[in-house]
Amino acid sequence: MRWAHVSFVLGILLCLIGAFLMALGEGLLGENHAGIVTVTGIVGIGLIGTSGAIIAGERARSLKPKNQHTRILSACARVE
């Protein structure tokens, strides 16, 4: 779970860097800086989305009962 949070924070940082460069990047990257900044923002958004899916999957896995198979078998035995 820790790596999912790290990728989430990295995605936030990349989006903030992209926004900063979009506003003030002409002096640093030249006139044609919009392409580089757009890719930086898209990668940041992708990291945020991926980390959200990983965190949601891990939470769902932790909420699932660990002995689900034995519960099903005991329920079948009661029916017979």
User: What tens-digit pLDDT sequence spans the chain (80 residues)?
Assistant: 688 899 999 999 999 999 999 998 888 888 888 899 999 999 999 999 999 998 888 888 888 766 655 556 555 555 55
Residue 46 near residue 11, CB atoms below 8 Å: yes
Per the confidence metrics, is the pTM higher than 0.85? no
Domain boundaries, the chain: 2-79
What tokens were used for 16? 């903030």
